Structure 1
Amino acid sequence: MQWFAAPEYWLSRLLVQRLLAALYLTGFLAAALQFRALVGSRGMLPVPRFTARVPFRHAPGLFHLHYSDRFYAAVAWSGAALSAALVAGLGDVLPLWTSMLCWAVLWALYLSIVNVGQTWYSFGWESLLLEAGFLAVFLGNADTAPPAPVLWLLRWLVFRVEFGAGLIKLRGDSCWRDLTCLRFHHETQPMPGPLSWFFHHLPDPLHRVEAAANHVTQLVVPVGLLLPQPVATYAACVVVATQLWLVASGNFAWLNWLTIALALAAVDPARLGLPVHPRDHGTTPVWFEALALALTAAVLVLSYWPVRNMVSRRQVMNRSFNRLHLVNTYGAFGSVNRTRQEVVVEGTDEPVVTRRTVWKEYGFKGKPGDVRRVPRQYAPYHLRLDWLMWFAGISPGYARPWFLPFAARLLVNDPDTLRLLRHNPFPDGPPTHVRATLHRYRFTDWRELRRTGAWWHRTALYEYLAPVDLAALARAGHRPPPPVRQGDGGRGR
């Protein structure tokens, strides 16, 4: 079938696969380095407790068959190693079926991690990585020309990402309709980056241009992705430029980079004047064509649910309609906070809490804390605790499942938990009490920055968590994890 092959897109496919493998690598590294405190057998939301109450059919994955911390680590590090090999080009030197198997293994490993990740993995870009990763299984390798149907499925995916985000904004917060959301967004976004302060202080007319341009790039430009060339290439370039703007303005894990990777599937390099020489691909196997066409038919059927969601007046963001996270609906920032509230966590080593108690603040890696600290760039790496702390500042309900277990682990200086933090004010011994207070944060202006050297100004609002000790948490049913015995290796008990 001549129409099936699209050899002119070989460079686009290569870039999509390399970027996607790099983002898989990022996801597996984040899982390997953070899981013990978050979902490990001694973590805040342990996997064994989750799998005991949620059956396999509701959250399929390897950890329903067996769990131990060592096994989880083996899954995460194996995924990281395979991802790195695919970044280096392993997929193009293997036979086609073996290359497809590598991508399928990556998808299955990451699906297993996401499906037991609970609230720590409740972000839209987890499903987006899984959906894109599943499509990548059928992109082929250097043995075959890129399959046109699968390239179209990638275009359809990035269309849903962008168009869904545009619709949820138009239907959601009124500030998107009156073009004022960007007055607040750069300051109140989950994790500002090093340039967010400067974006926030752009003149108001430019903020209005930003908001208007967002509507164009998310509601008009995505349609171009589904049109013939060269329109699709130009639309993809606009998507890439827009996503790079977002990369510069904040930390959104790998959402922006993954959207860029998907958009590249619509780029015909020749339309951009790139000197791309055609490759001599072999004949596409019939079995591969059959699988790609079956995938296309399945995606078309499963697209009913996200399309119905997009046209609904009650559109929701970031929902999977099946346990495999295939053909999902997406969206971001349907509403924008007008003020920034941050939970500040502190401890004391004094035996009795009084009005004169000296409290020392814990430092987080990414979220605002020390007002003089410049916001850091972490994306595409995902600091899961820091992101959930942002939600905790919006409403205590978001933190209810894990905040007291978090406090319990601080009270014993749990090493796995402390690795998620930038600064532990009690290196020589655990605190006797911890507490949390809610603060209002705002960016300083130019004059304040020059005078004080502070990027933020903060004002205490109210007590978020009254001072607690281990006895109080034990009475509430939140006991700290037992210390790891030498040689135990963190096995699930």
Structure 2
Amino acid sequence: MGWGGTGGLAGRRGVRDAGRVGVQVVVAVEWFDAERYTVARAVVQRGVAAVFVVGFVVVLRQFRPLLGSHGLLPVPAFVARVPWRRAPSLFQWRYSDGLVVAVGWVGVVVGLALVAGLPQRAAPWVPMAAFLLLWGLYLSVVNVGQTFYGFGWESLLLEAGFLAAFLGSDDVAPPVTVLVLLWWLVLRVELGAGLIKWRGDPAWRDLTALYYHHETQPMPGPLSRLFHLLPRPMHRVEVASNHVVQLVVPLFLLVPGPVQAVAAGLMIATQLWLVLSGNFAWLNWLTIVLAFSAVDDRVWSTVLGVHAGGPAGASPGWFVAVVLAVSALCVVLSWWPLRNLFSRHQLMNASFNVWHLVNAYGAFGTIGRRRTEVVVEGTLDPEPSLDAAWEEYGFRGKPGDVLRLPRQFAPYHLRLDWLMWFLALGSSIQMRWFLPFLLRLLEADPPTLRLLASDPFGGERPRWVRARLYRYRYAKPDERRATGARWVRQDAGLMVDALSLETFARRTRAR
């Protein structure tokens, strides 16, 4: 009887205790789940995956001539001198051009599956595994990509892809901690860009930066000249608006509700303006995708007419534990970029760890006043005399032919063309790849020639190549009507004197 009474009392207390624990777990899960952001999750997951697809297509089309075994900066030579701990990569274990192709195709296929939403229909671990695979493969590319992959949007894609892995599947609500980390990412992208401008070139502070930017930016688009020709008061309004959107508006991302959605909308509109005015690879498109993470389902339904699916289930315990651990890691790693934002010596597009997680971002702290282009020429003549017939190589994106309308390539990234812009700025480190590039032209190397828009010699080897500098500016309306030219250029002298295969052979023997 005593045992029975005691057991019954203990049982009832146990039930009550279990009930309280159950309520606590439910409350914790309800706090963890952000059920109002299911559409935002779908946009972020599919959008980030689409950018990964673009990135891996670039790998398939450009990696081997730039970085392959016979590339301009061969990966085998890089991994021989840089240890794994400084550049973790699959290619530290083994490099072959065939492995690069395999990595590229796996990235494209997995990315397309995520764009279609197939892994998201399964348990949360399936999209998690898919995104982590994309992140790991692309990290392997970036960490051996050297200067050809030294762009801030590489780190942005890696960080975004890593966070997207922990957004869950359609079966569960999006984790609130991951959403907050996405908002923190967008805030760093925008605020970092705004602060680097305000602390940098005085042209941003006196509102004159856009007098020059559209003409001197790395790769103009088809509308860039029209943007440049806007009235100067309009340019000043653009700069002032940019300061507001990048320095003030991002702070409102941390205020959930309509205010947050309005802040996201302003940033999206600004990014679309940048898409129209230039070619910045996937920087603008990825920022747009990430900004949509701050638009909740009510806004999607009311303003855009997009309705969320049915209610998602509670997140399983293992998923909650993994997400909270990853979120805690990202919070710890946030110390370095947070400190960087407040630093007088702010770094632009910096990674504080080899995994490219929680990075610092920024763009155009300095604005060029004049545009200089490197023009590469070759000749079939036996001697590089003044009378030699020099023919110009055509690049796909960078200005060359003054009559040609620039094309819109973004979000696709023309890596060689972008580095030609840095080369023209006088960056000596770029000569490490440029001289091998000239050698490949002398060899009429087919993979290298496919990176170009035109080969004036139709695949035949030139006898000599050289590089000249030209000053470029947009043609004024009357000049455009008179000549049909979109650019006016002026010879600024020789950059690299005439080289031949024999010249390279002598240099090799001398070393």
**CA offsets 1:405-452 (integer angstroms, 9 cap, x no match):** 000000011001001000001115110000000000000011111111
The equivalences for 1:25-174 within 5 A come to: 25-174=53-202
* C-alpha RMSD of the superposition: 1.2
**CA offsets 1:275-305 (integer angstroms, 9 cap, x no match):** 4245221221011111111111111111110
Check 1:478–1:250 CA distance in 2 against 1; reply closer, same or farther (3 A cut).
farther
Shift, 1:7, TM fit: 1.4
**CA offsets 1:318-376 (integer angstroms, 9 cap, x no match):** 00000000000000000000000000000000111211011000000000000000010
| Structure 1: gaps spanning 5 or more residues | 480-493
Q: Which residue of 2 aligns with 1:329?
A: 360
Once superposed, which parts of structure 1, at least 4 consecutive aligned residues long, lie more than 4 Å away?
Answer: none
**Is residue 413 of structure 2 the alignment partner of residue 385 of structure 1?**
no
The equivalences for 1:250-399 within 5 A come to: 250-271=278-299, 273=302, 274-275=304-305, 276-277=307-308, 279-399=310-430
Query: Using the alignment, how far apart are the partners of 2:509 and 2:87 within structure 1?
Result: 26
What amino acid is the match of 1:182? L
**Is residue 216 of structure 2 the alignment partner of residue 188 of structure 1?**
yes
What amino acid is the match of 1:241? A
Query: Using the alignment, how far apart are the partners of 1:399 and 1:50 within structure 2?
Result: 16
Query: Using the alignment, how far apart are the partners of 1:66 and 1:171 within structure 2?
Result: 43
**Native 8 Å contact 2:282 2:411 kept in 1:** yes
Shift, 1:93, TM fit: 2.4
Query: Using the alignment, how far apart are the partners of 2:190 and 2:158 within structure 1?
Result: 17
Q: Which residue of 2 aligns with 1:423?
A: 454
Query: Using the alignment, how far apart are the partners of 1:478 and 1:84 within structure 2?
Result: 49
Shift, 1:95, TM fit: 2.4
SS at match of 1:56: coil
**Native 8 Å contact 2:297 2:308 kept in 1:** no
Greater shift in the superposed pair: 202-211 or 388-397: 388-397
What amino acid is the match of 1:345? V
Query: Using the alignment, how far apart are the partners of 1:205 and 1:20 within structure 2?
Result: 37
**CA offsets 1:136-170 (integer angstroms, 9 cap, x no match):** 11011101111111011000000000000000000
Shift, 1:178, TM fit: 0.2
**Native 8 Å contact 2:38 2:308 kept in 1:** no
**CA offsets 1:112-157 (integer angstroms, 9 cap, x no match):** 0000000000000000000000001101110111111101100000
What amino acid is the match of 2:229? H
Check 1:149–1:475 CA distance in 2 against 1; reply closer, same or farther (3 A cut).
same
Return the match for 1:414 from 438, 445, 452: 445
- Per residue, is there more helix in 1 or in 2? 2
Q: Which residue of 1 aligns with 2:251?
A: 223
TM-score (norm 1): 0.96
SS at match of 1:423: coil
**CA offsets 1:426-482 (integer angstroms, 9 cap, x no match):** 115110000000000000011111111100000010101000001112233399xxx
**Native 8 Å contact 2:47 2:289 kept in 1:** yes
TM-score (norm 2): 0.92
**Native 8 Å contact 1:320 1:329 kept in 2:** yes
Check 1:261–1:227 CA distance in 2 against 1; reply closer, same or farther (3 A cut).
same
Q: Which residue of 2 aligns with 1:488?
A: none
**Native 8 Å contact 1:176 1:211 kept in 2:** yes
Q: Which residue of 1 aligns with 2:38?
A: 10
Shift, 1:396, TM fit: 4.3
Shift, 1:215, TM fit: 0.4
Query: Using the alignment, how far apart are the partners of 2:247 and 2:193 within structure 1?
Result: 9
**Native 8 Å contact 1:339 1:440 kept in 2:** yes
Check 1:178–1:390 CA distance in 2 against 1; reply closer, same or farther (3 A cut).
same
Shift, 1:94, TM fit: 2.6
What amino acid is the match of 2:428? G
Identity of aligned residues (%): 57
**Native 8 Å contact 2:397 2:417 kept in 1:** yes
Q: How many equivalent residue pairs?
A: 479
Q: Which residue of 2 aligns with 1:175?
A: 203
Query: Using the alignment, how far apart are the partners of 1:12 and 1:396 within structure 2?
Result: 41
Q: Which residue of 2 aligns with 1:485?
A: none
**Is residue 473 of structure 2 the alignment partner of residue 465 of structure 1?**
no
What amino acid is the match of 1:50? F
**Native 8 Å contact 1:8 1:278 kept in 2:** no
Return the match for 1:449 from 480, 485, 491: 480
**Native 8 Å contact 2:65 2:71 kept in 1:** yes
Query: Using the alignment, how far apart are the partners of 2:200 and 2:329 within structure 1?
Result: 31
SS at match of 2:432: coil
User: Computing the radius of gyration over CA atoms, which structure comes out larger, 1 or 2?
Assistant: 2
**Native 8 Å contact 1:404 1:473 kept in 2:** no
Higher RCO (CA < 8 A, seq sep 6+): 1
**Is residue 262 of structure 2 the alignment partner of residue 234 of structure 1?**
yes
SS at match of 2:85: helix
Greater shift in the superposed pair: 425-434 or 363-372: 425-434
| Structure 2: gaps spanning 5 or more residues | 1-28
Query: Using the alignment, how far apart are the partners of 2:323 and 2:402 within structure 1?
Result: 53
What amino acid is the match of 2:116? A
